[in-house]
Structure 1
Amino acid sequence: MKHLWAIVLLALVLSCSSDTSNRNPYLQEVRFRFELNLNLPLYNNLQNIGNPVYVGNNGVGTRGAFVINTGSSFMAWEASCPNHVPNECSTMTIDGQNAVCSCEGYTYSLFTGQLLDRPDDGNRYHDLLFYRATQSGNVVIISN
């Protein structure tokens, strides 16, 4: 009986992986931590539900991040299009509550991160790269 439990435990340990270093093959995993003070006029839009802001500060993600107040929490997403390597047109723009890639015209929801107009051609397409967003008082911390 001890051998059976040892085999089951070994199988569980070998099948679990904590390696999140390759969530998207086109985007590098960039480690950062950035604080957004909601009292500053630059981030005032985050006081209201559904108003996203672009954080393009140096050292925030690959090409910056989009942050949106969903009502129950804050969501943060990489601003570089997740379906190709970063290039001159890969920094997306905000269009209402969506992000749009000017390279292919792909549209992503800033509430869910999903590619809204996913082509039906059998290829694999990636959704937006998620970053942690936590609120502490009037400060939202985004990090990876």
Structure 2
Amino acid sequence: MRYFWGFILLIFSVSCNSDSTNRNPFLQEVNFRFELNLNLPLYNDLNNIGNPVYVGNSGVGTRGAFVIKSGLDTYVAFEASCPNHTPNNCSTMTIDGQNVVCSCEDFTYNLFTGQQLDRPDDGNRYYDLLFYRATQSGNIVTISN
């Protein structure tokens, strides 16, 4: 009888999911690592707080990434594909100041927080931008997932 209860406890402990993150079902988990050299003119805007850069290199995220310097030594990076539908011909967002806009339905997202700024109040689930890690070492900012 003791083995029976042990087996039941094992089943319950294996079936529980401790992953509390709520990842976006529209975007795949793409593993990548890309370095941005802040000495290059292409990434020069990242030397100032609030100037976003689009990194559209092959192998960076699904549709590229947006990177912005959000503080003195802090950078944030987000997926460039709109988070509220599967990637398609209109889902790569464009920079509009310190925001990005999805041309599919004109949703706007803030690049400092990743939050959707114009979330409809229609009872549907909407997702914020997919976050990527961004770390700085000297003049190199590394974005990865």
Q: TM-score, normalised by structure 1?
A: 0.87
Stretches of 4+ moved more than 4 A in 1?
none
Equivalent residue pairs, number: 133
CA distance in 2, matches of 1:112, 1:17: 22
Q: Which has the larger radius of gyration?
A: 2
- Return the match for 1:16 from 3, 8, 18: 18
What is residue 137 of structure 2 aligned with on the other side? 136
Aligned to 1:4: none
CA RMSD of aligned residues (A): 1.8
- Matching residue of 1:74: 75
Residues 1-144 of structure 1: pairs in structure 2 closer than 5 A: 14=16, 16-17=18-19, 23-72=23-72, 73-144=74-145
Alpha-carbon distance in structure 2 between the residues aligned to 1:15 and 1:82: 24
- Unaligned 5+ runs, structure 1: 1-6
Identity across matched positions, percent: 78
Paired with 2:122 and 2:62, the residues of 1 have a C-alpha distance of: 28
Q: Write out per-residue CA displacement over residues 16-60 of structure 1, whole angstroms, 9 at most, x where no aligned residue.
A: 237x6x711000110000000000000000000000000000000
1:71 CA displacement: 1.4
Q: Secondary structure at the match of 2:45?
A: helix
- Could you tell me how far 1:125 is from its partner in structure 2? 0.1
Does the residue aligned with 1:104 lie in a helix, a strand or coil?
coil
Q: TM-score, normalised by structure 2?
A: 0.86
In structure 2, give the amino acid aligned to 1:16. Answer: S
Distance 1:17 1:57 in 2: 30
**Is there any run of 5+ residues in structure 2 with no aligned partner, and where?**
1-8
Paired AA for residue 121 in structure 1: D
Residue identity matched to 1:91: T
